[in-house]
Every structure is written in structure tokens, then in C-alpha cells.
């Protein structure tokens, strides 16, 4: 990778792809677009006002973006779509069942472990404005509180020093720094680093949206969790971990409350000398869009829905062919990661994410997924873990489940209430009135008791009082212009409510 972006000039030949006439035309226009982008990025670098160090870091970032952009254009020319006939379900040895793993006899491996949380999300889909990890999810504790509590318990119980690393985005960095001040006295070392900030691209012109390095946040984007490897390297955090003798990194999303350190998986990684392990879990109907592991020409690869040709989408969603999906809980061998980054580099499949600016102008974000790195590592494979290791909070329906009496907390870890008769958790579907967190909080005076609930659907203008108990299947539908108030202390069991009710008659 070249160290600095320099504007192109006439003497600077852009490599051309040979082939048929149409290919040559495409390639020539690609060459122009590549050259133009290089010039635009070089101009952006010149707008940095904050001194040479900041300028150098921004230059490196733009160079990484340029490499991604050039690869995107080259792939468009070659039209290297996935060959669906070569996509197979993973082989038996590519996915290991969790119940075959053996607990370690000693705690030695923990001293070589670090934990990283991907902490760049804003929770905008839930109507939040700050870092999603600052949302209170259980017993007045936030996602971050629970993570810190878990790691602190691990460190104090086993007398180890597992550090916690938070990868933030430019959207959440300041928020995160403010929040972690309160953990100063805990038995946890916390390191934060910022993932890359890439320019959005106009779909029409393939030019970058921002005009200067200091341009408005909305003109930039964090390029997905696949940026983890670049950001770890360029921030110096990778070298810092290796210098401390850390060999293994457990990575997960900060909103996945099931992603706790698991010593069995760590030991399995050591025993099998695997450089990369992805935790997968069985698909349900709710998970049909999740990325999955596939066998592609005998190697294990991650396949995301965005990479699937449209005529094969139903095939991809089928639980028959792809029984598992990626939880984004990933275990990485750090010396191997350093080796890959310094030799071959980390070429991950590009995910094209179409978006629109506030005024409706179409733009493109080029992103990558962390799990796609599996193909770069020796003996990379999946471990099929119980569903309890995948408890993401993506919506207020998820939040209701976590806040309810189905779960209790032990040292920051969610534990299913032993009084629950079924191993599965209830299906909860809250309508648009509950979509934003402020509405959700207003509509539940207190979270209902749902220990014996199988299914809850709520749509329309509905309010829940205190100490409400829901059992079996409960469906509450307030039609347009109607409102339903469920009073304090009410018990609903296998009930369908609809209409305009103030439920004093129950």
C-alpha cells in the first residue's frame, strides 16, 4: 500500500484490464473514476488543519478507503459475482458443535486474552441520538455497565488481567470517553480507539460527498465492523496487545448481551491451533437475513445477504441449506492477525450499502464484515453455540424481553429465570407505536411479568399499567383512532383484545 495519496498526473499510468471491447470501455471509464477519486482524496488531505500528526493519520485513512474504492470498481468491471453453483453448505469439520468442547483444567489461557466490543452503533433505529451502549437495559445498568461488570468479575475471580477494548466510531467516541470515566476504580483496564471515517460517495458521479476533512458528520460513515483489523493496526492497539503478551482476542457487538467470555471456546481454539473462530447458532425464522458460513471450493467463507444474487435470495434464506448464521462473536489469534496484516493484507468482500442524503440524493457506502476475514486464517472454522450466546438488542421488542422477569443478572451476565418452563424465550412483536425508546418507556408504566408468555403482539395506541401479567398468547390491537389502556394488576392469558378499551371490565 502506498504511504501517501498523491494527485494523479498525465505521466501516471492507470493499469488497464485487457479483454473484449465492452470490457475495455468499462475499464477505461473505471480508470478515469479511479484517477478522479485519487485526486479528490489528495485534495481532502490538504484541507486538514490540525497539524502534521492528524494529517498523516487522515492520509492513511483515505489511502485505505482508496484501496477499497479501487477494488470495488475493478470488481464491477470483472463482474465477479459469486458463482452460486460453487456455494455449498459447510462440511462437518468446518462447524464444531459446542457440546463437544471440553472445559479447561487451568485458567492459564485467560492471561493471554483480551476482549473487544464493537461500540460504534448509535441506536438510531430505536430513536436514540447518542451511543447505543449507553442505553439502560437491565436493573438500571447500560450495555457498557454489564460488560465492565462481567470482565471485572472474571479478573477478580481468576486473578487475571483481561483488558477491555472498545472500538468506537466518530459518532460514539466522545460519548464513550465520557461514560468510561465512571469505571476508573473498577478492576478493568479500558482502552478505546476510533474506527475509520470514510467519505460517502455520490452514486451518480462516484465522487466523495465531503468537500473538506472537517465537513459535517453526515457526509461520512464508519465502514462496518470489517474495518476492525485496519483500525486495530493503525491505532497501535494491536502492537500494544502483543507487547503485553496477549495472544487471543474475543470480539463481539456491544449490543449482544449473550457474548460473554467462554473458556471452553478459548481452550478449543488453543487445542486445535485455530487462528480464527466464528460463533454461529441455529437459524430461526427471525434470522433469515443473517450472514452464514459456506463451503466455497473447499474453503470456509462468510456469505452475507448483500452478496447473494437476487434470484437466489430465497435459497439463501432457506433453513434447509443454511442451518446456521453468524452471531458476530469472533475469536482471533493476534500474532496471526499481525502476520496477515503485514503480508497479504486483509481483503474482505465489499458490501455495497446504498443510502440517501437528507435531501434524497442517492449515495453509496462501501463496507466490510469482520467475519469475512475467516478465509485469511489457518484452520478457521465455526463453533455452533447455544442461542443464549446471541441476545442482541436491535429493537424495543428485544429490549422488553431483556428487561423482563425472563432474565436475571449474575455478575453482569444475563441468566434465564429457572422458573421459566420452556428453554425458548417468548416471541415479542411490538408495533410502530413502540418503535422509539421514548414511546416505549412512556407506554409501559412497568415491564409486565412474562414468565409464562409464549407470544405477544401489540399494535396501535396501547398503554400498560403496573404489575400486568401476560401468559400464553396475548394479542392486543388498537385500530386507527382507538386507544387501549391495560390497567394496573391486570392478568391476560390467551387473550385477543381489539377495539377501543379502557379495560375496567376485565
Is-contact 162 151, C-beta < 8 A? yes
Distances (CA, A) of 94 to 1, 131, 251, 302, 449: 32, 36, 20, 12, 41
d(CA 275, CA 272): 9
The 3-state secondary structure of 378-424 reads CCCEEEECCHHHCCECCCHHHHHHHHCCCEEEECCEEEECCCCCCCC
Choice among 35, 394, 436, 445 that is catalytic: 394
Specify which residues 201 forms β-bridges with.
208, 364
Is-contact 254 121, C-beta < 8 A? yes
Is 394 in the active site?
yes
d(CA 414, CA 464): 25
Distances (CA, A) of 223 to 10, 169, 170: 32, 9, 11
Contacts of residue 455, defined as CB under 8 A and 6 or more positions apart, other chains included, come to: 426, 427, 428, 472, 473, 474, 475
Instruction: For residue 444, give the DSSP letter.
Output: B
Query: What is the set of active-site residues?
Result: 394
Amino acid at each position: 500500500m502506498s504511504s501517501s495519496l498523491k494527485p494523479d498526473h498525465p505521466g501516471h499510468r492507470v493499469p488497464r484490464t485487457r479483454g473484449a471491447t465492452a470490457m475495455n470501455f468499462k475499464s477505461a471509464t473505471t480508470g478515469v473514476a479511479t484517477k478522479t477519486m485519487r485526486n479528490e482524496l489528495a485534495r481532502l488531505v490538504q484541507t486538514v488543519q490540525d497539524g502534521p500528526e492528524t494529517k498523516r493519520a487522515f492520509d492513511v485513512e483515505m489511502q485505505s478507503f482508496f484501496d477499497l474504492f479501487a477494488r470495488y470498481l475493478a470488481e464491477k468491471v470483472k463482474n465477479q459475482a459469486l458463482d452460486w453453483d460453487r456455494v455449498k453448505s459447510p462440511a462437518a469439520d468446518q462447524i464444531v458443535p459446542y457440546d463437544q468442547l471440553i472445559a479447561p483444567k487451568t485458567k492459564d489461557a485467560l492471561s493471554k486474552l483480551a476482549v473487544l466490543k464493537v461500540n460504534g452503533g448509535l441506536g438510531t433505529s430505536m430513536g436514540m441520538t447518542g451511543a447505543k451502549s449507553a442505553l439502560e437495559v437491565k436493573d438500571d445498568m447500560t450495555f457498557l455497565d454489564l460488560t465492565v461488570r462481567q470482565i471485572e468479575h472474571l479478573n477478580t475471580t481468576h486473578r487475571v488481567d483481561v483488558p477491555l477494548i472498545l472500538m468506537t466510531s466518530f459518532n460514539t467516541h466522545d460519548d464513550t470517553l465520557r461514560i468510561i470515566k465512571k469505571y476508573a476504580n473498577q478492576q478493568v483496564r479500558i482502552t478505546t480507539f476510533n474506527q475509520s471515517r470514510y467519505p460517502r460517495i455520490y452514486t451518480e458521479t462516484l465522487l466523495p460527498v465531503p468537500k473538506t476533512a472537517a465537513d459535517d458528520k453526515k457526509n461520512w460513515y464508519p465502514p462496518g465492523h470489517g474495518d476492525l483489523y485496519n483500525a486495530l493496526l493503525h491505532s497501535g492497539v494491536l502492537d500494544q496487545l502483543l507487547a503485553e503478551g496477549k495472544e487471543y482476542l474475543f470480539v463481539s457487538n456491544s449490543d449482544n448481551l449473550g457474548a460473554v467470555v467462554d473458556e471452553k471456546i478459548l481452550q478449543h481454539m488453543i487445542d486445535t491451533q485455530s487462528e480464527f473462530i466464528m460463533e454461529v447458532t441455529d437459524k430461526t425464522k427471525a434470522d433469515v437475513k443473517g450472514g452464514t458460513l459456506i463451503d466455497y471450493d473447499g474453503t470456509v467463507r462468510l456469505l452475507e445477504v448483500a452478496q447473494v444474487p437476487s434470484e437466489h435470495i430465497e435459497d439463501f434464506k432457506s433453513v434447509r441449506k443454511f442451518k446456521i448464521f453468524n452471531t458476530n462473536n469472533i475469536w482471533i489469534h493476534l500474532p496471526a492477525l499481525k502476520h496477515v496484516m503485514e503480508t497479504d493484507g486483509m481483503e474482505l468482500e465489499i458490501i455495497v450499502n446504498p443510502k440517501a442524503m437528507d435531501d434524497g440524493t442517492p449515495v453509496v457506502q462501501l463496507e466490510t464484515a469482520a467475519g469475512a476475514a475467516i478465509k485469511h486464517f489457518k484452520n478457521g472454522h465455526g463453533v455452533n453455540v447455544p442461542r443464549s450466546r446471541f441476545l442482541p438488542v436491535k429493537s424495543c421488542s428485544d429490549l422488553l424481553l431483556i428487561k423482563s422477569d425472563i432474565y436475571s443478572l449474575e455478575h453482569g451476565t444475563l441468566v434465564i429465570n429457572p422458573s421459566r418452563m420452556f428453554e425458548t424465550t417468548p416471541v415479542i412483536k411490538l408495533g410502530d407505536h413502540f418503535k422509539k425508546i421514548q414511546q416505549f418507556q412512556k407506554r409501559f408504566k412497568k415491564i409486565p411479568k412474562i414468565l409464562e408468555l409464549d407470544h405477544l403482539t401489540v399494535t396501535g395506541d396501547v398503554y400498560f399499567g403496573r404489575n400486568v401479567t401476560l401468559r400464553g398468547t396475548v394479542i392486543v390491537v388498537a385500530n386507527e383512532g382507538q386507544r387501549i389502556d391495560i390497567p394496573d394488576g391486570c392478568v391476560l392469558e390467551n387473550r385477543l383484545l381489539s377495539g377501543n378499551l379502557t379495560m375496567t371490565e376485565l
